[in-house]
């Protein structure tokens, strides 16, 4: 393992972070507000220091391609480094405790949307913009942005990029990164223009569109998206469409934008995602109906929108989720656990793993009923999956379920007064990077609860890769062997 390669990876993402932070003072200038000096200072420090150190490292040793272990370690630690650095600026600029700023930044970059900041309605506009930018950047992938904006990244970071976005939609990974960025940016711009046309204030439009397409869910208001809906009700249509698009696999989205609707529909995961959305919307509407005095309009509003927000792992909400029945909470919890499609901006176990689980159960039942004489192959997209691929999907589901249940038990132990249904809801929201909340997390929550949820957000966003990297590091030290290509 080469420390130099890991340092090169860190410095590249640090430079990107600096460039992103330098856009915050620009928002101050646009709105003629006091300059966010801490973002300016930290942003310049990251950009200049990162570039100078990178050049020194480049001079000391030849830049070489990272190995798989080096890439996993860099990837895992970078997702801690970025929130830790940006939390310094956020804490000093907003005058909030560092641990709250760290929670906010981890929630932002992981695309979760849980928040401990209070008084968002009166918060400085550049800070609101930064919260949206963290989600927009983090959900597409910090490494993807680094690959797009820093061309020298490709000299050493091909495997590092593959860890974040392994699927190709073009001939090369470099072309894939550019195409994903263009699609992401195009949909974002179209969404902002549409929302402004429908009466949404420009900054609100920018932030809510960025967090909708990123399935992030952070809002400029304490009441979340509901405040925007109140003054611009028609905005619910583009926001809902953006949430669904954010849950699409980028390959599928590329085909749809290219007019290849038949090819898009051939995807079993895409069909399952659409059917799941329809199912959860219907069940949620019926479940909510008795709690809103049998008002069809309110059941559509609270049931359908919140169900879509849960399944797409966006995290926007209308109404007070904490006051809803346990039936509604459990339904939303299941939706958050499943999440959206693989290779999307969303979280959860991903629909493709649910499809594999269902096919495995079907195969097992057929094999059991026929005494083992018939054991159907498990196919996905026409290809037969081997046992290793099936096992990987099932292990991930078990790991994700275990993580959120352990997290819920810890939250319950720290705050005994919290209902177990609420604890499971909150930890599922964190681990699946959703952001819906029933009120367990707030600025006044115990530090232990914040730490548990930060850990779940981190591991959930990286799909528990840090655990694999740590295991790989132990194996490397013990046997001095690991995959080096």
Does residue 47 sit within a domain? yes
Q: Are 482 and 437 in contact (CB under 8 A)?
A: no
Residue 8 covered by a domain: yes
Distance CA 239, CA 484 (A): 44
| CA 381 vs CA 159, 275, 341: distances in Å | 25, 17, 14
- pLDDT reported for residue 466: 76
The answer to the question of residue 111 being in a domain is yes
pLDDT tens digits, one per residue of 49-99: 998 988 887 777 665 667 777 778 888 888 999 999 999 999 999 999 999
406 is written with which tokens?
């352990």
Averaged pLDDT for residues 133-153: 80
Q: Residue 292: its pLDDT value, please?
A: 73
Q: What share of the chain has pLDDT > 70, as a percent?
A: 91
Please give the tally of structural domains in the chain.
1
193 lies in some domain: yes
Q: Which residue has the higher pLDDT, 11 or 30?
A: 30
113 in any annotated domain: yes
Question: What DSSP string describes 391-404?
Answer: HHHHHHHHHHHHHH
Q: Is residue 416 part of a domain?
A: no
Any idea which residue has 């611009």 for tokens? 232
Q: What is the pLDDT of residues 264-293, one digit of tens each?
A: 999 999 999 999 999 999 999 888 888 777
Mean predicted confidence (pLDDT) in 39-43: 98
Give residue 374's pLDDT: 76
Please, which pLDDT band fits residue 431 given cuts at 50, 70 and 90? very high
Q: What is the mean pLDDT of the chain?
A: 89
Burial readout 274-310 (b: 16 or more C-beta within 10 A, e: otherwise): eebbeebbebbbebbbebbeeeeebbbbbbbbbbbbb
Q: pLDDT confidence of 300, banded at 50, 70, 90? A: confident
pLDDT level of residue 393 (50, 70, 90 thresholds): very high
d(CA 310, CA 314): 6
Q: What percent of the chain has pLDDT over 90?
A: 65
Provide the domain limits for residue 239: 3-338
Q: 431 to each of 27, 73, 353, 357, how far by Cα in Å?
A: 32, 21, 16, 20
Is residue 195 situated within a structural domain? yes
Instruction: Check residue 155 and give its pLDDT.
Output: 61
Residue 178: pLDDT band with limits 50, 70, 90: confident
The pLDDT tens digits for 218-245 are 999 999 999 999 999 999 999 999 999 9
Contact 315, 326 (CB under 8 A): no
- DSSP 8-state symbol, 384: E
Cα–Cα nearest to 457, from 427, 482, 436, 420: 427
pLDDT in tens, 247-258: 999 989 999 988
- Specify if 384 maps to a domain: no
Q: Which residues pair with 452 in a beta bridge?
A: none
């Amino acid at each position: 393992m080469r420390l130099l390669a890991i340092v090169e990876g860190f410095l590249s993402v640090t430079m990107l972070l600096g460039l992103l932070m330098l856009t915050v003072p620009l928002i101050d200038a646009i709105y003629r507000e006091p300059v966010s000096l801490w973002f300016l200072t930290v942003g310049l420090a990251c950009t200049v220091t990162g570039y100078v150190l990178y050049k020194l490292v480049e001079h000391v040793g030849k830049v070489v391609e990272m190995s798989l272990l080096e890439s996993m370690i860099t990837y895992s630690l970078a997702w801690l480094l970025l929130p830790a650095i940006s939390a310094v600026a956020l804490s000093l600029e907003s005058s909030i405790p560092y641990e709250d700023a760290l929670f906010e930044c981890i929630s932002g970059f992981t695309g979760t949307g849980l928040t401990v900041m209070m008084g968002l309605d009166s918060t400085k506009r550049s800070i609101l913009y930064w919260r949206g930018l963290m989600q927009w950047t983090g959900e597409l992938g910090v490494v993807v942005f680094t690959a797009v904006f820093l061309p020298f990244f490709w000299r050493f970071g091909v495997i590092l990029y593959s860890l974040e976005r392994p699927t190709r939609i073009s001939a090369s990974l470099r072309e894939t990164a550019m195409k994903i960025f263009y699609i992401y940016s195009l949909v974002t711009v179209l969404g902002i223009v549409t929302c402004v046309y429908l009466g949404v204030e420009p900054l609100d439009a920018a932030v809510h569109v960025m967090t909708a397409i990123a399935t992030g869910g952070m809002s400029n208001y304490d009441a979340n998206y509901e405040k925007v809906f109140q003054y611009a009700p028609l905005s619910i249509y583009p926001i809902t469409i953006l949430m669904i698009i954010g849950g699409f696999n980028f390959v599928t989205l590329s085909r749809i934008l290219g007019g290849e609707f038949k090819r898009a529909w051939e995807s079993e995961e895409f069909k399952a995602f659409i059917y799941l959305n329809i199912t959860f919307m219907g069940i949620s509407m019926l479940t909510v109906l008795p709690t809103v005095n049998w008002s069809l309009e309110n059941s559509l509003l609270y049931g359908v929108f919140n169900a879509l927000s849960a399944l797409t792992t966006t995290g926007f909400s209308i109404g007070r989720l904490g006051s809803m029945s346990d039936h509604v909470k459990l339904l939303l919890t299941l939706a958050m656990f499943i999440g959206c499609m693989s290779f999307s901006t969303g979280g959860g176990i991903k629909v493709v793993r649910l499809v594999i689980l269902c096919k495995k159960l079907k195969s097992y039942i057929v094999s059991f009923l026929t005494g083992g004489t018939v054991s159907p192959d498990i196919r996905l997209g026409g290809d037969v999956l081997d046992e290793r691929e099936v096992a990987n999907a099932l292990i991930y589901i078990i790991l994700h379920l275990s993580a959120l249940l352990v997290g819920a038990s810890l939250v319950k132990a720290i705050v005994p007064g919290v209902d177990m249904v609420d604890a499971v809801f909150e930890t599922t929201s964190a681990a699946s990077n959703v952001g819906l909340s029933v009120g367990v997390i707030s600025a006044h929550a115990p530090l232990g609860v914040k730490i548990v949820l930060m850990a779940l957000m981190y591991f959930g966003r990286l799909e528990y890769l840090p655990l694999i990297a740590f295991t790989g590091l132990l194996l490397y030290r013990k046997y001095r062997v690991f995959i080096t290509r």
